[in-house]
Amino acid sequence: MFFHETQTIKPNNYRSSKNKKLFQVQAFSFKQRLVMDAGDRGVKKMAVTSVAAMVAETTTFPIDLLKTHLQLHGESVQSLRPASAFRIALEIARNEGLLGMYRGLSPAVFRHMFYTPTRIVGYEHLRNKFVRSSDRSLPLYGKAVIGGISGAIAQVITSPADLIKVRMQADGLILSQGLQPRYAGLFDALNKIINAEGILGLWKGVSANVQRAFLVNMGELACYDHAKRFIIKNQICDDDIYAHTLSSVMSGLSATALSCPADVVKTRMMNQSASVEDKIKYRNSYDCLVKTVKVEGLRALWKGFLPTWARLGPWQFVFWVSYEKFRQISGLQSF
């Protein structure tokens, strides 16, 4: 019986069956390699984005601190006298020393470890998916929409770190009045906020924060992407540091103009605490917007515009130039 069954397998059929199995194994291995390569590229993109963002954040953080102080200026009657970035910088240096210019750096860097990779890699994924499905380039309004969506999602995730950063920066104003700061560091702030305001207190001002993130990324990502492709397509310069610099300057201007009002509201909403001894100034983002305009005028919504742009400009330059370079070193294509 055994001899009879073995004889039914012909040599040609055996070779055909063997080749078929070999082809299936090779095809499966090829698919595995594609998945692994895609995973490796994703990890590389997340890693180089985090490093570039942390470098840019550390480099430009003192300007961000000045912007926060300018936006909070005017909330109290005694601070209604005119303020300038230069005078605020002198006060910080006198009261806290040069290291005072980096108050709140740790939560800011921690935030960018997750915020920037989520929005940048998310934007690139959505953009490339659209290009593959439609076989044409994405128009500017399409880039603006997916840029805004990517930024909004990233901001919801990382809003607690942003809130802690704003409050630690605002502690500099408390120090200038001769009072003790509210928080000693990142984890001290995290613990105190949760105890006083609950876990949801970490997402205070999240609506204004998400609105700002949508506008910033709508201007930044869409403008950088579109400007760089325009520069290269029209042969103004190659895909190099010059193209990256020009594109980053344009994206910084558009992002600042769009986001400054939402940034002012976000900063003031996040700075107020919900402890029993502190009176709540703003019920929500809209209430903050109305009260700010009523008390300080419409121009108050663009308070800190120059420091914001002065920070976004260098931030964009440092980030995009280093990011594109890191991608090149890692064997990734240009953004």
pLDDT score recorded for residue 38: 60
Long-range contacts of 241-247 (CB under 8 A, 24+ apart): 241/321, 244/320, 244/321, 244/324, 245/317, 245/321, 247/223, 247/320
Residue count (the chain): 335
pLDDT score recorded for residue 180: 80
What class is the 61-329 domain? mainly alpha
Write down the domain spans for the chain: 61-329
pLDDT per residue, tens digit, the chain (335 aa), is 444 444 454 555 545 555 555 445 454 455 565 455 666 788 899 999 999 999 999 998 888 888 777 777 665 544 545 567 778 888 888 877 888 888 878 888 888 888 999 999 999 999 988 877 766 778 899 999 999 999 999 999 998 988 888 888 778 767 767 778 888 888 898 999 999 989 998 998 788 789 889 988 999 999 999 999 999 999 999 999 999 999 998 998 888 888 888 888 877 887 776 554 556 788 888 898 899 999 888 888 888 788 778 878 888 899 999 999 999 999 998 88
| C-alpha dihedral, 322 to 324 to 327 to 331, nearest 10° | -130
What distance in Å separates the CA atoms of residue 43 and residue 53, rounded to the nearest whole number?
15
Asked if 16 and 304 count as a contact pair (C-beta separation under 8 A), the reply is no
**Angle formed by the axes of helices 140-176 and 206-233, to 10°?**
130
Q: What is the CA radius of gyration of the chain?
A: 26
**3-state SS track over the chain:** CHHHHHHCCCHHHHHHHHHHHHHHHHHHHHHHHHHHHHHHHHHHHHHHHHHHHHHHHHHHHHHHHHHHHHHHCCCCHHHCCCCCHHHHHHHHHHHHCHHHHHCCHHHHHHHHCCHHHHHHHHHHHHHHHHHHHHCCCCCHHHHHHHHHHHHHHHHHHHHHHHHHHHHHHHHHHHHHCCCCCCCCCHHHHHHHHHHHHCHHHHHCCHHHHHHHHHHHHHHHHHHHHHHHHHHHHCCCCCCCHHHHHHHHHHHHHHHHHHHHHHHHHHHHHHHCCCCCCCCCCCCCHHHHHHHHHHHHCHHHHHCCHHHHHHHHHHHHHHHHHHHHHHHHHCCCCCC
What distance in Å separates the CA atoms of residue 49 and residue 325, rounded to the nearest whole number?
11
How many CA atoms lie less than 13 Å away from 193 in the CB half-sphere?
27
Give 34's contacts (C-beta < 8 A, 6+ positions apart): none
pLDDT score recorded for residue 9: 47
pLDDT score recorded for residue 1: 44
Q: Which two tokens stand for residue 107?
A: 């939560």
Asked if 77 and 117 count as a contact pair (C-beta separation under 8 A), the reply is no
Asked if 232 and 212 count as a contact pair (C-beta separation under 8 A), the reply is no
